[in-house]
Amino acid sequence: MPSPALSMRLPRPRALPVQTLAGIGLLVAAVACFAVLDTTTKRVTAEVPLLMAVWARYFFQALVASALILPKKGLAVLQTDNLGLHITRGMLLMVVTVLAFSSLHVMPVGEFTAIVMTTPLLVTLLAARLLGEHVSPMRMALVAGGFVGTAIIVRPGGTAISWTSWHLLLPLGLVVANAAFQLLTSKMARTEPSMTTQFYTSWVGALLASIPLYWFWTDIADPALWLGLLLMGVAGAAGHMLMIMAFGRSPAATLMPYMYLQIGFAMLGGWIMFDHIPDHVSLIGIGLIAACGTAGGLLTLWESRQRA
């Protein structure tokens, strides 16, 4: 053991500020809500038409978001100079939602969530290509590792999905659409208030989902299914609001590594609701995606501190 005098000279690790810890806690709660949303979606869409489930998810989310936002902002929340961008963002999220619900219909929740978590890795490549941002060789290696993990999950003969199945296009299309959504969100965050963005996105999705509802509406007699549809909307709204609050308290670079806790929550939900546990090979792919994504977040944090 070092002597007391030496111990006094050793640098002590700095504790995280209370605000940062609060942001981390809010983010963990947010990804838990998203895991609840995905697990409930898989359960509900087994008995309810997919587009009806999409409508319920947006309609109840829009109601919850309005109840939280309007008392604080009033009609001022509608003020924006970028209405076209808000509509585009809402349409992109609608595409993401339809592809996500379709994927969950044919895939286990844990494997689905792991594949979706490659989105930040794809955003890294697109940011380098479209926004001219510098991407280090280490980041390129992490991106490659994440996609190797995806290939392991969707391997030929795998339990989750097969390369020869057209279902493979669903999660891969979802990752691309989600990356476009994240890039647009990043651009809008520089000029648009978060509550305005949340309000418009929720109601654009609700209105778009209402258009085909006449052809897909099905009478539901089971109260449990209605509770499931309501839970989807509440979990979606709560997850988005908690994430907004988290990023308002902690830097994005600090929070990003904790995003991958959603994989663990999703696997827990899949085990509780469907008695599904990924096989050993799929677990390797899931672990590789989580490791590469977490390393990317830590690398961002280290680089930001080096610049500071």
Q: What are the extents of the domains in the chain?
A: 30-216+223-307
Report d(CA 278, CA 152) in Å as an integer: 12
Closest CA to 73 of 85, 81, 65, 83: 65
Closest CA to 267 of 7, 42, 95: 42
Find which of 1-5, 57-61, 178-182 is predicted with most confidence, using mean pLDDT.
Answer: 57-61
Report d(CA 244, CA 194) in Å as an integer: 7
pLDDT grade for 202, boundaries at 50, 70 and 90: confident
For residue 275, is it left (φ>0), alpha (ψ between -120 and 50) or beta?
left
- Lowest mean pLDDT, pick from 55-64, 114-123, 155-164, 201-210: 155-164
What's the number of CA atoms in the CB half-sphere (13 Å) around residue 154? 25
The amino acid that residue 242 corresponds to is L
294, 114 contact by CB (below 8 A): no
Q: How many CB atoms lie within 10 A of CB 306?
A: 7
For 96, the enclosing helix (H) or strand (E) is helix 83-106
The answer to whether residue 158 scores a pLDDT higher than 60 is: no
The answer to whether residue 163 scores a pLDDT higher than 60 is: no
Give how far the C-alpha of residue 180 lies from the chain's centroid of Cα atoms, to the nearest Å.
13
Closest CA to 197 of 130, 235, 247: 247
Q: Check residues 31 and 294 and name the one with the higher pLDDT.
A: 31
Tokens standing for residue 252 = 């994005």
255, 300 contact by CB (below 8 A): no
The answer to whether residue 251 scores a pLDDT higher than 70 is: no
Q: Helices marked H in 107-193 — which ranges?
A: 109-116, 119-130, 137-153, 169-188
Max alpha carbon distance in the chain (Å)? 78
Is residue 13 classed as helix, strand or coil in its secondary structure?
A: coil
User: What integer pLDDT is reported at residue 223 of this predicted model?
Assistant: 86
Number of residues in the chain? 308
Tokens standing for residue 195 = 């509550």
Q: What tens digit of pLDDT does each residue of 267-292 get?
A: 888 888 877 777 777 778 778 777 87
124, 139 contact by CB (below 8 A): yes
The amino acid that residue 117 corresponds to is M
